[in-house]
Amino acid sequence: MAEPGNIVITVIDRHGEAHELEAPTDMNMNVMEVCKAYELPVKGTCGGMALCSTCHCYILSDTELPDMKDDEEDMLDQAFFVEDNSRLGCQLRITDDLDGLRIQLAPEAEE
Ligand code: FES
């Protein structure tokens, strides 16, 4: 169980290992930042501007997510390994609605 004010998201890393991350809903964080805080291999090169796709992940749970904005869609158009359930972690803000979210990190693209 998460502390009050926190939610728990599960992140499957690139080795198939699941990590349960507890994330605060009151710090204006996004999924990319939470992964980085737990030292998962998410680069977040652009700092969350939807410009790099290093936070690309696949949504595995049926969690209801906010719709994609144009910049996220544009970036995913250019990213590698994109699937129907692809999202950019930096565009998913940590709110109560994301409690129980399960994601998998997308493979790293060659740079
Ligand atoms: S951190 Fe660059 S697109 Fe998400």
Cα end-to-end distance, the chain, whole Å: 39
- Confidence label for 111 from pLDDT (cuts 50, 70 and 90): low
Percent of the chain exceeding pLDDT 70 equals 97
**What is the rounded CA–CA span in Å between residue 92 and residue 110?**
24
In tens, the pLDDT along 13-29 reads 999 999 999 999 999 99
Residue at token pair 């995913």: 76
Q: In which band, very low, low, confident or very high, does the pLDDT at 4 lie, cut at 50, 70 and 90? A: confident
- Cα(73) to ligand 1 centroid in Å equals 12
Residues with CB under 6 A from ligand 1: 32, 44-46, 48, 50-55, 75, 88, 90
Q: Using pLDDT thresholds of 50, 70 and 90, give the confidence band for residue 3.
A: confident
Residue in 30, 55, 80, 93 to alter for ligand 1 test, most ligand atoms within 8 A of Cβ? 55
* Chain segment 59-79, per-residue pLDDT in tens: 999 999 999 999 999 999 999
Span from the CA of 77 to the centroid of ligand 1 (angstroms): 14
Residue ranges of domains in the chain, CATH in brackets: 6-105 (3.10.20.30)
